[in-house]
Amino acid sequence: MKRVIVVALSILAISAAAFAQSSAEIDKALLAAPRQLKEGATVIKWKSDFTYETLKKGTNRLVCYDRSGQAGQQPFAVECTSIANLERAAQNLKLEAQVQDKKAYETAFTALEKEGKWIKPEFGSVWIHYSGPDQSQARFHTTIAVPGATTESLGLPDKPTQNGAWIMNAGSSVAHIMVPGS
């Protein structure tokens, strides 16, 4: 009987430790989520093969994940976007991991763009990055995906202006609205 109790307690202890780790991972990823969307957000964990495991199934279209330690990222980095952008995010992660040199990375993405193989993000979806040397020094950076948009189609400038939103990479699949101060 004692053995059964010891085994049962061991299983409970291991389960509690795994739950605590998942809970901490979920809480960290959700640091990038807007307050009003946090509770309903999905949280995933990227695997080394650029697929993911769902840690928390959400009820809205926001998905958040930890990017700390990934190629080209700050030591502390979490990100949220639309669940529709996961295929593009996986493509980006794979290329970032394969190409370490910034110039080669940009060349590879430009080639994908020209070939029409860079997966387009969902038009109007946000990308919320919260990153820095550590959490205490992390800053938010928010962009809005507008693939193919130009100054003519949106009426926004394609260069930074004083305290105003603008389109970066206008006309490409990576076109996005830069949101100053976010």
Query: In the prediction, which pLDDT does 17 show?
Result: 40
- Residues 6 or more apart whose CB falls under 8 angstroms from that of 50 comprise 90, 91, 93, 94, 97
**Residues in the chain, pLDDT under 70:** 1-21, 182
Residue at 169 is within a domain: no
Sheet with strand 126-132: strands edge to edge: 52-56, 42-46, 62-66, 76-82, 126-132, 139-145, 176-178, 166-168
Number of structural domains, the chain? 1
> So what's the pLDDT on residue 9?
38
- C-alpha to C-alpha distance for 7 and 104, rounded to whole angstroms: 53
User: Which pLDDT score, from 0 to 100, does residue 124 have?
Assistant: 97
Which residue is it, tokens 């990308």? 127
pTM over 0.85: no
User: Mind listing the pLDDT tens digit for each residue in 2-21?
Assistant: 554 443 334 433 444 444 45
Q: How many residues does the chain have?
A: 182
What pLDDT is recorded for position 182?
A: 67
Contacts of 87 (CB under 8 A, 6+ apart): 119
> What pLDDT does residue 71 have?
82
Give tens-digit pLDDT for 16-43: 444 445 799 999 999 999 999 999 999 9
Phi, psi for residue 71 in degrees, rounded to 5? -50, 130
Helix orientation angle between 86-98 and 102-115, rounded to the nearest 10 degrees: 140
Domain that holds residue 137: 2-145
Whether 178 is covered by a domain: the verdict is no
Residue 69 counted as domain residue? yes
Q: Is 10 among the domain residues? A: yes
In a domain, 175, yes or no: no
